[in-house]
């Protein structure tokens, strides 16, 4: 009984420590805007607006062997011309200045669901458990006003990885970026973006966040 109480106490302290972690935007770029509602940073540069926030400090939970953190981005192109947004346009700097590259969505699927990654509805990496997905589909089919068609999750689009590739004038791309990092062990992180226009101009963005415990 004493052993159970000790384990319960340790679990409580662990959860309390995790819940006390705060992600605080620390924009350094002049004119950057912080949205206190979702703690995102919006930066405008030459008509291109990049908004970023820390979406999930532990994608799939803390028991995943490979730690994964997720950032949610919205990129609006008002630059007057199309731009290219490859996956390698993004890097994440940790507290020690180490540079991390994004994890491709298919690799995130393989890490979170090694047995089912080939069958998951790519690129929905947000459905961490295929059983939960099936239960959700079964329940929504019966709850829908339309016969045999489920309404689905209203915020399902937020589970999509960021669309990469060309982005035309007045177009918008949004979605998740994934990095192999244990954010709660860091004191700060900085998401850096380098987008190149079709004319060869490189537009750089910096979204720094501090991790307060």
Query: Per-residue pLDDT tens for 32-52?
Result: 999 999 999 999 999 999 999
Nearest one of 159, 154, 153 to 139, comparing CA atoms = 153
Query: Per-residue pLDDT tens for 74-86?
Result: 999 998 889 999 9
Share of the chain above pLDDT 70, in %: 69
Tell me, what's the pLDDT at 211? 95
Tell me the mean pLDDT in the region 159-185: 91
Residue 144 · residue 153 · CB < 8 Å: no
Query: Is the sign of the CA dihedral 114, 118, 123, 128 positive or negative?
Result: negative
Say yes or no to pLDDT of 90 above 80.
yes
Whole-structure pTM value: 0.74
Residue 25 · residue 209 · CB < 8 Å: yes
Query: Per-residue pLDDT tens for 183-211?
Result: 999 999 999 999 987 777 789 999 999 99
* Strands of 47-197, DSSP E: 48-56, 69-77, 83-85, 90-93, 99-100, 165-167, 172-179, 188-197
Say yes or no to pLDDT of 98 above 50.
yes
Nearest one of 58, 44, 54, 68 to 22, comparing CA atoms = 54
3-class SS of residue 9: helix
Query: Per-residue pLDDT tens for 143-158?
Result: 444 333 333 433 444 4
């Amino acid at each position: 009984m004493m052993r159970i109480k000790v384990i319960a106490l340790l679990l409580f302290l662990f959860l309390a420590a995790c819940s006390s972690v705060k992600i605080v935007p620390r924009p350094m770029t002049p004119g950057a805007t912080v949205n206190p509602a979702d703690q995102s940073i919006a930066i405008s540069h030459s008509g291109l607006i990049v908004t970023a926030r820390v979406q999930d400090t532990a994608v799939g939970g803390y028991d995943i062997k490979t730690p994964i953190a997720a950032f949610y981005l919205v990129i609006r192109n008002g630059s007057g011309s199309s731009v290219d947004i490859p996956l390698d346009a993004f890097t994440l700097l940790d507290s020690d200045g180490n540079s991390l590259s994004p994890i491709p969505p298919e690799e995130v699927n393989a890490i979170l669901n090694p047995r089912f990654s080939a069958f998951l509805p790519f690129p929905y990496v947000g459905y961490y458990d295929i059983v939960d997905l099936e239960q959700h589909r079964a329940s929504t089919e019966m709850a829908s006003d339309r016969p045999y068609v489920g309404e689905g999750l209203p915020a399902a689009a937020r589970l999509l990885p960021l669309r990469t590739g060309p982005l035309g004038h007045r177009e918008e791309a949004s979605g998740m970026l994934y990095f192999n990092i244990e954010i709660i062990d860091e004191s700060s992180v900085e998401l850096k973006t380098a987008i190149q226009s079709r004319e060869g101009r490189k537009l750089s963005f910096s979204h720094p966040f501090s991790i307060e415990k």
